[in-house]
Every structure is written in C-alpha cells, then in structure tokens.
C-alpha cells in the first residue's frame, strides 16, 4: 500500500524512463541486503532446468545484463535479459515510454535500445556462470532480436544477425528466446509468419549447438495480435522442429477498451501496450497453445499478470512458468514474493 501511494502520487509525475533507471540503480545497490532473503516458492522443473520458483522477470527490464542478481534477490526465480541485438543501437527517439495509470498499463516504443551482443556477452562472461536453483543464482534467459537496420525481407541477413547474437550469447544462457514479436522494430513481426520463422529458428538452433557443449533450450516469443489460426500454426511448427517452448505473449498494438481517455491515448502514440489490458488475450493465446501442443511443451505465460488470481488462471490454462514486468512497475519490489507466496498458498 505504501508503494502504491508513492507510485500514484509521486512516481507518476516523473518521466517513466528516468524513473526506471533510478529504480534499477536502487535495486542493484540494495542487492547485498535483499540477497540475504531466501528465494520464495517451490522449485519448478522445466526446459531440463530447475527454476527456483515459477515467476520470472520478462525481457525488457534488464536489457544489458547489469542487474541480474539484484533482480533475483527480489524473489524472481528467473530473469530474462534483453532484448539484445547483434549490433548495439540507441533505440527510438525519446520520449518512448509512457504510463497509463488508469489502465495499470504501459506503452513503450523503446526500439530494442541495447549495448549489442558483443558487449552483453562480455558482461555475462565477467559475471560468470551461476548454478541456477542451487543457491548460486536465478535461471538466466537471454532474449535476442533483430538489429533495426537489417531488412526483414532479406532472410539471409536476418539469419546472420540472429546468428551473431546466438554465437556470442548462447554459451552464457540457461535458455535462449528468439523475439520476433515486438511492434517497435519495423518489419519484425513479419518474421512470425511460419515460412520465415521456421528457417530462422532452425538456423538459431544449429548455431547454438555449434557454440555450446550442452544443449541450450530455445523458445520463441509471440505477439497477442496473431490471429488464432496463426497461433496454432506456430504451435504446430514448434512441435515439428522440436522447439523447447513458447512465450505467450509480447505487447499488443491494440488500444481497445481502455479506460484512459482517447485523447490521452492518441497523445501517447504508437508502441506496444502491456499490463492489465493484455490479460484476457494473453490468457486466450495460452489456452490455444496448450490445447494444441499437449501437456509436455513448456509454455511461459506473460502479459497482464497482476494478482495471485491472474497467476493461478494462467497456470490453470496450461502455463508451466510465469513472467511479469508491468505489474512489477505498478506494484513495487514486494510484488514478486507476494505472487509466488500467494500461488503456493
């Protein structure tokens, strides 16, 4: 409640991107204290890995792998860094991050701003490997995406770009995510079409196997805006090529049924919408996937998970693991432990 009051009456008056960096610095600084608290929840076995609990932090918060262990100390069982691109890039012009407090939502058009695969790989190498789930650190996911200047209609260039990130980052990852679903890189979502997605995933799989001694699980992250038939096509492809899992879902470009006044939504402009308005569609996509792929494929549910009831609904729909981001912003640093303990209870 204290954080909610602080957020509603103070933080909402601060530029969202500046507030993010300030909060992240505080999380990193507090790590020596928060790390003394045991990780909540029960271990989950998935992807051939042992996750300390079922809740992870979605990609986008720690794009550059600078605060993995501080974030885990707040109670996340896994942390997914990125999205990392083959080449470093500044992202889209500012302002590019906006809150819609009335909807408990965020709009971002960050544009994969990150230091690039070479820099992030060096940072991960300096951190060293942690044995996930054994007191040594969280499970580490690495989310990779397309460099903006690479044209989406040049399949060879796209595969080379993702291949570079894979070669550099797969050796440091507990699992690898191929992101083709952000709305903020021109043409990226076109790669979700199965005829483009399958060869890309197969290329990333081959590349990862060439640079790792132990097979790194690979997942794909999809958009909630896919038509149901396209969701099912991705599910069928995942089974056909032996993909390890699917993350459902990324942000949406829809602005339907928002409480925020239309003029304010229009002023914010383009970008991916996350948070509460995504709950229903992300849940529907998850159900579609689980019904199609059967009980064994790992499905990570993300998008609009705010309450314990939301988390339980996602598990009931077939999620193996959960992720959050926007609720973490609105609910504060105690949110991960509250969700994990609430689901366990």
Report the binding-site residues: 59-63, 83, 108-112, 143, 179, 184, 221, 249-251, 275, 304, 325-326
pLDDT score of 13: 67
Question: Buried b / exposed e across 170-199, counting CB within 10 Å, b at 16+?
Answer: bbbbbbbbbbbbbbbbeebbebbeeebbbe
What integer is the mean pLDDT of 320-332? 96
Tell me the per-residue pLDDT of 218-239, one tens digit each, with 9 for 90 and over: 999 999 999 999 999 999 999 9
Tokens linked to 98? 């906006």
Report the C-alpha gap between 132 and 39 in whole angstroms: 12
Report the C-alpha gap between 161 and 277 in whole angstroms: 33
Which range is least confidently modeled, 66-80, 128-142, 144-158?
A: 128-142
What integer is the mean pLDDT of 231-250? 97
Confirm whether 182 is a catalytic residue.
yes
- Taking alpha carbons only, the member of 183, 144, 140 closest to residue 166 is 144
User: For residue 3, what pLDDT band results from cuts at 50, 70 and 90?
Assistant: low
* 341 within 8 A of 335, measured Cβ to Cβ: no
Write down the catalytic residue from 165, 181, 182, 282.
Answer: 182
10 Å CB burial of residue 13 (0-12, 13-18, 19+) is exposed
Three-state SS at 246: strand
Tell me the per-residue pLDDT of 172-191, one tens digit each, with 9 for 90 and over: 999 999 999 998 898 889 99
Report the binding-site residues for substrate: 63, 108-112, 179, 184, 250-251
Tell me the per-residue pLDDT of 31-84, one tens digit each, with 9 for 90 and over: 766 666 888 999 999 999 999 999 999 999 999 999 999 999 999 999 999 999
β-bridge mates for residue 106, sequence order:
99, 274
Report the binding-site residues for FMN: 59-63, 83, 143, 179, 221, 249, 275, 304, 325-326
Report the C-alpha gap between 23 and 65 in whole angstroms: 15
Q: Would you say residue 8 has pLDDT above 70?
A: no
pTM of the model: 0.94
* 83 within 8 A of 147, measured Cβ to Cβ: no
What domains, with CATH codes, occur in the chain?
Answer: 2-344 (3.20.20.70)
What integer is the mean pLDDT of 137-147? 96
Angle among Cα 113, 116, 270 to the nearest 5 degrees reads 20
Report the C-alpha gap between 34 and 73 in whole angstroms: 5
């Amino acid at each position: 409640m204290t954080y909610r009051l602080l957020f509603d009456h103070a933080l909402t008056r601060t530029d969202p991107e500046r507030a993010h960096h300030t909060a992240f610095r505080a999380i990193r600084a507090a790590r020596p204290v928060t790390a003394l608290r045991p990780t909540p929840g029960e271990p989950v076995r998935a992807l051939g890995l042992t996750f300390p609990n079922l809740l992870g932090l979605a990609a986008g918060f720690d794009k550059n792998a600078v605060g993995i262990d501080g974030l885990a100390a707040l109670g996340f069982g896994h942390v997914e860094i990125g999205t990392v691109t083959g080449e470093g890039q500044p992202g889209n012009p500012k302002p590019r991050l906006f809150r819609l407090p009335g909807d408990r939502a965020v709009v971002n058009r960050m544009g994969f701003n990150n230091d690039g695969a070479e820099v992030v790989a060096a940072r991960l190498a300096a951190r060293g490997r942690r044995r996930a789930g054994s007191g040594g650190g969280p499970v580490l996911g690495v989310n990779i995406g397309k460099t903006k200047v690479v044209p989406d209609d040049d399949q060879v260039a796209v595969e080379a770009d993702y291949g570079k990130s894979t070669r550099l980052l797969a050796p440091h990852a507990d699992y690898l995510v191929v992101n083709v679903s952000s709305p903020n890189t021109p043409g990226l979502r076109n790669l979700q079409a199965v005829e483009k997605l399958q060869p890309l995933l197969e290329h990333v799989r081959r590349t990862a196997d060439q640079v790792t001694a132990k097979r790194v699980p690979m997942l794909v992250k999809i958009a909630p805006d896919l038509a149901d038939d396209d969701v099912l096509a991705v599910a069928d492809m995942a089974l056909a090529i032996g993909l390890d899992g699917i993350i459902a879902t990324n942000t949406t470009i829809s602005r339907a049924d928002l409480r925020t006044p239309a003029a304010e939504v229009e002023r914010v402009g383009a970008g991916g919408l996350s948070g509460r308005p995504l709950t229903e569609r992300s849940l529907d996509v998850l159900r579609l996937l689980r019904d199609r792929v059967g009980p064994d494929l790992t499905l990570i549910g993300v998008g609009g998970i705010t309450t314990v009831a939301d988390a339980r609904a996602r598990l009931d729909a077939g999620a193996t693991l959960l992720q959050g981001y926007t609720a973490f912003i609105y609910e504060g640093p105690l949110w991960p432990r509250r969700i994990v303990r609430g689901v366990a209870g």
